[in-house]
Structure 1
């Protein structure tokens, strides 16, 4: 469940890498490019859905919550600092969604296949942002041969069973 689908209010969905789950605060953390179109869609307190699926367990989790973007905060700084330079390399490239002549990573040629230095990455820190999602409700669904099961669960442990 490391790479869920994140869907924004404009019905756009994408797979993202989950960086952290704070079980106490029911908070998900992802990293994103501050120039990506989803950033302006999400901005502050936008409704989003995160869909997790574990094939081996036959379990689906639909997490609904409020999202916000952090750029120049201690949390964003800490997330940037803890990232590997290969991961940070993405922020050296063109903004997500730019039209190009042919297939491209968007990265400058000088960095393709190479690990950048901290000095090379310093100017692009402003392209990095953190996406935080505070989960308000989880729709748990379990696929089973003897009958599916479904429940809605809240952050306070409150919940109810539903028919699948």
Structure 2
């Protein structure tokens, strides 16, 4: 989509935002393939990390990430499902700030399908023992030396399924910032559940 088409059009700006997110999920070279995801700790502190955007469902307003059930972000979300997501696409000159509510699912058909879609190398990550964030006395990947640096077999990664989960984010707000040389554009889109539509407004950049 050209700049001229969405520069002054809220609906087309929203469309472009979702298009960039969907492209990010499908293209590992896209800057939006790895946005920053922030949760709120039990102490009320924002905690951010880079995560891989695995899939985007515009109709459901839902983003999916994969995660380890033992990670701190999972504990954060189980206490407080509020999350914020930030991504920037320098070539498209677009910054996206999204907020919504998240849930973690370690079982069920969606989680099972996500596990099957992961590569053996990706599945291997969930074999780390002890879990992510555990203090260590020396540099470590957390993996057994016999499996570190090699492609594992399906039998070797099978125990990792118990540590695997998906993080589903229901997007409720999108802030769009487009950096135009003629003058930036900023907009906010809030999901109206009662009307089943987005409430849109321009903001001063």
Deviation of residue 45 (structure 1)? 6.5
Aligned to 2:157: 121
Distance 2:106 2:79 in 1: 12
Cα deviations across residues 76-134 of structure 1 (Å, max 9, x unaligned)? 11111111111000011121111122222111101111111111111221100100000
Aligned to 2:39: 8
> Where do 5+ consecutive residues of structure 1 fail to align?
none
C-alpha contact 1:152 1:161 (8 A) present in aligned 2? yes
Aligned to 2:27: none
**Alignment: residue pair count:** 164
Distance 1:69 1:136 in 2: 17
Aligned to 2:73: 38
C-alpha contact 1:44 1:69 (8 A) present in aligned 2? no
Report the 3-state secondary structure (helix = DSSP H, G, I; strand = E; otherwise coil) of the residue aligned with 1:8.
Answer: strand
5 Å-filtered alignment, 1:124-143, equals: 124-143=160-179
5 Å-filtered alignment, 1:84-95, equals: 84-94=119-129, 95=131
2:88 is the counterpart of 1:53? yes
C-alpha contact 1:44 1:67 (8 A) present in aligned 2? no
Aligned to 2:28: none
Report the 3-state secondary structure (helix = DSSP H, G, I; strand = E; otherwise coil) of the residue aligned with 1:43.
Answer: helix
TM-score by length of 1: 0.94
Aligned to 1:163: 204
How big is the alpha-carbon RMSD for the aligned residues of Structure 1 and Structure 2? 1.4
> Where do 5+ consecutive residues of structure 2 fail to align?
1-31, 192-196
The answer to which structure has the higher helix fraction is: 2
Structure 1 pair 97/45, CA: closer, same or farther in 2 (3 Å)?
closer
Report the 3-state secondary structure (helix = DSSP H, G, I; strand = E; otherwise coil) of the residue aligned with 1:124.
Answer: helix
2:171 is the counterpart of 1:150? no
TM-score by length of 2: 0.76
